């Protein structure tokens, strides 16, 4: 018996455009899924300090407080930017050891005596006593945070990322934040109880911001050299320094620290004593000429950076050298400088660019210095010395 064949309905032909659309959609969906899989637990993009950078979901953070304090938590007691940078380097080194992102304060406290915008040792028609009311400045007006992040990742404590971290830490409970006090960085690194904590908070210790890193004299223990933060100056400061350096040409430089460091106090007999007995003498022009004679040839361009406020104090040096100061480049600096911390950062870059750089104090065996007095405070008050044989 013949079995009748079942008639088949032929499917309608699909439009080529429709098939192409379906194919593209499927490929896009597969790409999106693969991207999500590859980034889970690995890398995501967040906004850090208004710059897009890659961040990891497993990233952990280190917090030392919302401002770089000086001893006693008062700007008035601070010795200046170099003192605060010592604490900042210490914090950054701890972040390196712990492999954490450092939460940097968004502002830097400024000692009022260092907050005159006026540029020192310049012509008579510019006042060096111009006072600015602000007691702090924005951290990113001093440092290039992206440049720092190439060595140790940093975020600001007013960034969206930081607020996200705080919000997440509260949700994580005991795994969110550890408030530590009296715990060394070695213990923080080696103790398993801190490893998975999202945020390590150092502000439990009131000494955190002006503690000195241990083993400073042990070079193998220093992760960031003294030159690290000066070289991390904000781009506008670096640009200003480069313009001045190009105008100076081939030059030498000296840093003459006087001003705030020339402190004296009277003993019980009414006799004035100082912590640096030779500094006032060694930083006077006639003694500078004697000291640097064998290092810098006559006729050389000599850039002078100093906090000496007496007008034309260094003019006697012009008998042997062509002198240059920051004030000679006011057209470059005035649009950029808001406080003396910024000025000092530019001057440091200029000093570093000199053929020969003579510091006030000898900081290493190879340094040239104006005085042999130690830079570190010996806490021994001595009689000032103003005589010197051979000069």
Minimal CA–CA distance to 56: which of 39, 68, 76, 69?
39
The H or E element containing residue 145 is: helix 145-149
How confident is the model at residue 207, as a pLDDT?
74
User: Which candidate, 327, 331, 302, 306, places its Cα nearest to that of 317?
Assistant: 302
| Residue among 77, 53, 236, 222 at smallest CA distance from 146 | 53
The rounded distance, in Å, linking the Cα atoms of 102 and 223 is 15
| Cβ proximity of 227 and 90 under 8 Å | no
Residue predicted with more confidence, 253 or 183? 253
Q: Closest by alpha carbon to 159, among 7, 246, 50, 78? A: 50
- Reported as a pLDDT band with limits 50, 70 and 90, residue 41 is very low
Tokens, residue 175: 């795994």
- Residue in 119, 158, 136, 145 with CA at minimum distance from that of residue 336: 119
> Per mean pLDDT, which range of 156-165, 248-257, 298-307, 360-369 is the poorest?
360-369
For residues 102 and 175, give the distance between their C-alpha atoms in angstroms, rounded to a whole number.
Answer: 18
Phi and psi at residue 182, in whole multiples of 5°? 70, 20
Section 300-308 average pLDDT: 96
Q: Is the pLDDT of residue 253 over 90?
A: yes
Please say if the pLDDT value at position 110 is more than 70: yes
d(CA 316, CA 16): 89
Judge whether residue 6 has pLDDT over 90: no
Q: Is the pTM of this model over 0.75?
A: yes
Highest mean pLDDT pick, 38-42, 143-147, 184-188: 143-147
**According to the model, what pLDDT value does residue 214 have?**
65
Instruction: Check pLDDT > 50 for residue 2.
Output: no
Angle 59-64-66 (CA atoms, 0-180°, nearest 5)? 105
> Which letter does DSSP use for residue 224 in this model?
S
Q: Which helix (H) or strand (E) holds 162?
A: helix 160-172
Which two structure tokens, joined as six digits, stand for 160? 């969206």
Q: What is the dihedral of CA 198, 203, 209, 214, to 10 degrees?
A: -70
Query: Three-state DSSP class for 50?
Result: coil
pLDDT confidence band for 119 (50 / 70 / 90): very low
CA-to-CA separations, 27 to 20, 21, 37, 39, 40, in angstroms, rounded:
11, 10, 15, 18, 20
Q: How far apart are the first and last CA of the chain?
A: 134
% of the chain residues with pLDDT over 70: 75
Contacts of 208 by beta carbon, 8 Å cutoff, 6+ apart: 64, 65, 91, 202
pLDDT at 34 over 80: no
Q: What is residue 56's predicted lDDT score, i.e. its pLDDT?
A: 53
pLDDT, tens digit, 9 for 90 and up, residues 171-196: 998 889 999 988 888 899 998 889 89
* Banded model confidence at residue 288, pLDDT cuts 50, 70, 90: very high
pLDDT of 75: 64
Mean pLDDT over each residue of the chain, to the nearest integer: 81
What integer pLDDT is reported at residue 73 of this predicted model? 59
Contact 62, 91 (CB under 8 A): yes
pLDDT class of 166 with cuts at 50, 70, 90 = very high
Domains and CATH numbers, the chain: 45-230 (no CATH), 235-369 (3.40.50)
Token pair, residue 5, equals: 């064949």
Would the pLDDT of 29 be above 70?
A: no
pLDDT digits (tens, 9 = 90+) for 194-224: 989 999 999 987 777 877 676 656 666 678 9
The SS3 assignment for 45 reads: strand
Please determine, for residue 384, whether its predicted confidence score (pLDDT) is greater than 80: yes
Q: How far apart are CA 83 and CA 261, in angstroms?
A: 13
């Amino acid at each position: 018996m013949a079995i009748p064949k079942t008639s088949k309905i032929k499917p309608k032909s699909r439009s080529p455009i429709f098939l192409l659309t379906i194919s593209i959609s499927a490929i896009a969906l597969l790409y999106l899924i693969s991207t999500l899989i590859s980034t889970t637990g690995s890398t995501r993009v967040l906004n850090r300090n208004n710059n897009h950078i890659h961040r990891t979901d497993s990233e952990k953070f280190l917090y030392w407080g919302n401002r770089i304090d000086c001893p006693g938590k008062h700007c008035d007691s601070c010795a200046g930017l170099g003192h605060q940078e010592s604490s900042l380097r210490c914090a950054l080194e701890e972040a390196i050891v712990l492999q954490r992102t450092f939460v940097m304060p968004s502002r830097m406290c400024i000692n009022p005596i260092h907050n005159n915008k006026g540029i020192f040792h310049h012509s008579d028609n510019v006042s060096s006593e111009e006072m600015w009311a602000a007691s702090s400045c924005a951290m990113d007006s001093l440092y290039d945070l992206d440049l720092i992040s190439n060595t140790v990742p940093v975020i600001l404590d007013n960034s969206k990322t930081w607020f996200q971290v705080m919000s997440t830490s509260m949700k994580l409970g005991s795994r969110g934040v550890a408030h530590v006090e009296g715990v060394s960085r070695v213990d923080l690194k080696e103790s398993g109880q801190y490893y998975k904590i999202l945020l390590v908070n150092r502000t439990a210790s009131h000494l955190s911001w002006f503690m000195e890193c241990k083993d400073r004299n042990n070079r193998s223990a220093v992760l960031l050299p003294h030159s690290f933060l000066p070289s991390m100056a904000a781009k506008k400061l670096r640009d200003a320094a480069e313009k001045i350096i190009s105008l100076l040409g081939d030059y030498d430089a000296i840093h003459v620290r006087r001003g705030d460091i020339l402190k004296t106090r009277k003993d019980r007999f009414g006799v004035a004593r100082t912590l640096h007995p030779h500094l006032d003498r060694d930083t006077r022009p006639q003694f500078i000429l004697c000291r640097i004679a064998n290092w810098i040839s006559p006729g050389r361009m000599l850039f002078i950076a100093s906090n000496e406020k007496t007008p034309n104090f260094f003019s006697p040096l012009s008998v042997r050298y062509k002198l240059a100061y920051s004030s000679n480049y006011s057209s470059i600096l005035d649009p950029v400088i808001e406080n003396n911390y910024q000025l000092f950062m530019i001057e440091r870059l200029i000093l570093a660019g000199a053929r020969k750089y003579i510091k006030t104090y000898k900081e290493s065996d190879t340094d040239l210095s104006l005085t042999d007095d130690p830079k570190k405070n010996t806490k021994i008050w001595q009689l000032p010395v103003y005589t010197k044989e051979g000069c």
